[in-house]
Amino acid sequence: MKRRLAGHAVNPIGLGCMNLSHAYGHPPSPEDGVKLLHKAIELGVDHFDTAALYGFGRNEELVGPALKPYRDDILLASKCGMQGVDGKRVIDGRPEALRATLEDSLRRLQTDRIDLWYLHRFDKLNEVPIEDSVGEMARLVETGKVGAIGLSEVSAETLRKAHAVHPIAAVQSEYSLWSRNAEIAVIDACADLGAAFVAFSPVARGFLGGGDLDPENFAEKDIRRGMPRFQEPHFSQNAVLLPEFRRIAKEADITPAQLAIAWTLSKGQHIHAIPGTTSIAHLEENIAAGDVELSAEIVSRVETLINQNTVSGPRYPAGTQAEIDTEEFAGA
């Protein structure tokens, strides 16, 4: 059953494309990346998510040409407001920066429009009002180069301020059994405003994927190396949760990753999930989660097992946490 996103009816499981160029150590070759994108099309994926930041433009350069033959049949999402400048990650929500980013993204994506364009980060560090950033994005919607506007990693308060300037079609934030912050206010605020909620990392950055994850084996540039939940003493405490989670998945006759994704989608009809992967086998596994119907008992059991009170460690290091605008649980 398809769900609404930015004026389109799409499958509730899309593809987060970041992994193909960015963040988890050694990305696949461009040729293998294209193969995975084309396999996603074959499996019925019609929502693809990229960003100017990913690979400092390389992800858009990969995704755009690969999906160009299918352009009119898919929803293509990208992001602005955070990008690579002279080899460094920079947050910049100024109107002039967003205009320049859009033109660069359109060129790399080889398209004349981006269906859903997110502000990747609310530029609170440089004190750029959300109204200024969204106001410029709204003007770019009027040009026809942007279909709809989204926000990423924002609070309900920021969402409502932005929505007063221009309708916000979607909010994208991390959401999974082990990252429940969105339940404080944003998921409900999206429903109130008629916006979709797009969950990235629904498999908890691989933690709930079912494999034998060992942070010691992460690649040197894997961003999880800097995340407290994958560091000691937190990782050992979190790993204790996995055997029972896997038992529950086995009882439901699905894989752990499918249980994680299906749980995310069960939390609201306006919720979408965009798991990322570099593996075609994992891609097939993830997409099949769209056919899973979880019982109320299974949902209750996994929520009781894995939640903000049972998971150890913050999801981001302090520096990254300062850049985002999401609500936090007390004591987190």
Q: Catalytic residue positions?
A: 54
DSSP code per residue over 44-93: T--EEE--STGGGGHHHHHHHHHHGGGGGGSEEEEEESEEEETTEEEE--
DSSP code per residue over 230-297: GSTTHHHHHHTTHHHHHHHHHHTTS-HHHHHHHHHHHT-TTEEE----S-HHHHHHHHHGGG----HH
Dihedral Cα 154, 159, 163, 167, nearest 10 deg:
60
Cβ atoms within 10 Å of 90's Cβ, excluding its own: 13
Q: Please, are residues 259 and 306 in contact by the beta-carbon 8 Å criterion?
A: no
Q: How far is Cα 33 from Cα 65, in angstroms, rounded to an integer?
A: 12
